[in-house]
Amino acid sequence: MFELACPNCGSKVPFISKSSLFAVCPNCKSSSIRKDMDLETYGKVSELQDDSSPLQIGTTGKYLNNSFSIIGRIQLKYELGFWNEWYFIDDKGNAGWIGEAMGQFMVTRLKKIDNPEKLQFGVDLDRKYSSYLVNKTTNQPIFAGDAIAINKKEWIIKEITVATCVSGEGELPFKFDSGYTAVFADLSDYSDNFATLDFSEEPPLLFTGDMTDFDSLNFQNLKDPRFSEKLAGKEPKSISCTSCGAPLVINFPQFTNTVSCQYCGSVLDTTNPELKILSQFKLKEKYTPILPLGAKCNLYNQEYTVLGYMRRKTLVDKITYSWEEYLLYNPKGYIWLNCNEGHWMVFKTIKGIPVVNSTVSRPTASYHKDKYLLFTSGDGEVDYAIGEFYWRIKKGDKADLQDYVSPPLMLSLEKTPSEIIWTRGEYLEKEVVKNAFLMQSPLPDGKGIAPSQPNPHQKTWKRNWKIAVLSFVAAIIFQIGYCNHSANQKVFNKEYTFLKSAGDKSFVSEGFHLDGKEKNVSIEVESRQLNNNYIYFAIALINSKTDVALDTGIELSYYHGVDDGESWSEGSTKEFIIIEDVEEGDYYLRIEPESDVASSLRYEVTVVRDTPRYTPFILFLIFIFPPIFVSLFKYKNFESDRLQNSDYANSYSSSYDDSDDEDE
């Protein structure tokens, strides 16, 4: 570090980085340009405004194993309040910026734009084309959500805003003037990377990096050691409504920009010392939130406070649908708790941009390897609000909405011309909400099926399917083993002729031997000469030694013909029967045939010892698969009912099943 004398007051102006070219005297607030080892007066900066930032010149930290020290700041003001850009030097001498706005932190570094003269976009501060950004070739406006290319890389515009420089302090890499106004565009990509385009210069400056949080930066030497207590809401601010005089409490002054009076509906600007009235909600009836303002809850092991309550509505087929949104705040950020027809979901902003595929019949959005299906699209309008909010809320605020579902998760896109917000939500059972808020009374039951409500039949049918598959594989292995160990030995085979004219048609066969103890015997009869006839055989398997007979019968019938030009057939020329548990020994057959043939018929008799059996295997399959079909039917029926509230009420996609399988 070295020090140079302020050319205005003579005080020492410290410099930590040799690359710093501009500095603000901490004593007289004069701005100076460094020329070698001397300072030249440039002007005088305005006073910094109190923005409740915990950071200051000299604050240190560590991010991604790199230590850094803050040496300068530019303070800007935009629609939602103050925004700081803190200039830092890391332990390797590299410079960077920490953007701080609304409790969020962005760590970026300046990146060179290749061929900046070829950039296809520019600034239109007069908004001649309804946007601050415009395509320089076509003069078409560029809005949030549009894609732009920088250095052959595609970025998606998340927010377009205009900010005015309030002041600055410390040492900086460039000169600045208080009061200048510039357009800024926040960008993101499909890999959660973050970038900002600063149009205060021509060509614009590109800063790339990523979004993070307060804890991840491991700050030390903060401006206020009690900052954590203030963030925890232990120093609320009491005010009076400038419209009706009712007492109001701002729980988190450093976060809140507007407060909507719950008594008269007036929306007050809390960044204005006079609490200017911005708008007013005028309703014939007031809504009482299920979760009161100021209520605390514990979700995901974090304590949150209910700051704001908002009702939104949309019009579909001339029918108005409404839902409730609760703004919950925690020192580490905010989340939204939504209630729609008694169904609860918790939403949190995501860093990146999902990949949307709109070329298919039902568009999808993919984020972090999860695929979501478009459920509904439309617009949402603010109908009523009370409590604290971080933006200037007013009645009638509208945004285009798209909801993509992969139960129990949802990706939600909220889009205006100047901003897009992607959030990821998770369905919460009402008992989870009740326990999180330590509520004594039960919450109302949900009506119908929510877009991301878990399918209660999903686990059952997947379990049944897995059990069936494992059982089927085991049965196949058992059947193969059983067949391999079956002798399947042909012990007798002979051809006979049935004579219609014969008197006594019964006869006995030659003898044969059956090996093995108590194994089955298959008796098969085949007659290829059957032609619109039948033949029946009364058969007895007789033990030659004991004369014990096992009686059975087999009938062959085969008929065919042509009716109305269509040929048909029924029956078979071959049949068999299996006799179980036949003991070892010498046997013969007594056969007594009977047929309606006119004269004669040839047939063949075959006896097989220990033939493989398939009936138990087939019966087993019949037993294990019905539960699958029943549970699958219930699962599909639930999904079909779910879609009745979507943009795809008359369709059903199995992509839910595919995404579920991927998750497993």
Give the residue from 87, 95, 93, 90 showing the smallest Cα distance to 70.
87
Residue 534, phi then psi, degrees to nearest 5? -135, 160
- Predicted TM-score (pTM) above 0.75: yes
Q: Other C-beta atoms within 10 Å of 243: how many?
A: 16
Q: How many whole angstroms from its chain centre is CA 471?
A: 33
Q: Other C-beta atoms within 10 Å of 519: how many?
A: 18
Rounded-to-integer distance, Cα 251 and Cα 389, Å: 11
460: part of which helix (H) or strand (E)?
helix 458-485
Token output for 454? 């878990």
Tell me if 103 sits within 8 A of 307, measured CB to CB.
no
Q: Other C-beta atoms within 10 Å of 417: how many?
A: 16
Domain 489-611 architecture:
Sandwich (2.60)
Rounded-to-integer distance, Cα 415 and Cα 145, Å: 8
- DSSP 8-state symbol, 220: B
User: What integer pLDDT is reported at residue 555 of this predicted model?
Assistant: 96
Token output for 221? 């030497």
Cα distances (Å, whole numbers) of residue 103 to 83, 254, 308, 481, 559: 10, 9, 17, 68, 86
Cα distances (Å, whole numbers) of residue 661 to 259, 375, 424, 473: 45, 20, 20, 20
Name the residue with higher pLDDT: 621 or 192. 192
Average of per-residue pLDDT values in the chain: 87
3-state secondary structure of 581: strand
Listed by start position, the domains of the chain span: 45-228, 232-454, 455-476+614-641, 489-611
Tell me if 528 sits within 8 A of 578, measured CB to CB.
no
Give the residue from 306, 265, 268, 266 showing the smallest Cα distance to 285.
265
Average the pLDDT over 578-589 and give the result.
94
Question: What does the CA dihedral 369, 374, 376, 382 come to, rounded to 10 degrees?
Answer: 30
Confidence of residue 8 (pLDDT cuts 50, 70, 90): confident
Please determine, for residue 601, whether its predicted confidence score (pLDDT) is greater than 80.
Answer: yes
User: What integer pLDDT is reported at residue 659 of this predicted model?
Assistant: 45
pLDDT digits (tens, 9 = 90+) for 88-136: 999 888 999 999 987 789 999 999 999 888 888 888 877 776 788 988 8
3-state secondary structure of 274: coil
Give the residue from 101, 55, 99, 54 showing the smallest Cα distance to 82.
101
Average the pLDDT over 323-345 and give the result.
92
Confidence of residue 663 (pLDDT cuts 50, 70, 90): very low
Name the residue with higher pLDDT: 418 or 624. 418
Token output for 376? 């509904």
Judge residue 505's burial from the number of C-beta atoms within 10 Å of its C-beta, 0-12 exposed, 13-18 middle, 19 or more buried: middle
Confidence of residue 233 (pLDDT cuts 50, 70, 90): very low
- DSSP 8-state symbol, 294: T
Rounded-to-integer distance, Cα 109 and Cα 89, Å: 11
Average the pLDDT over 71-96 and give the result.
90
Tokens 């049935």: give the residue.
Answer: 498
Token output for 484? 């391999």
Angle, alpha carbons 465-468-470 (nearest 5°): 110
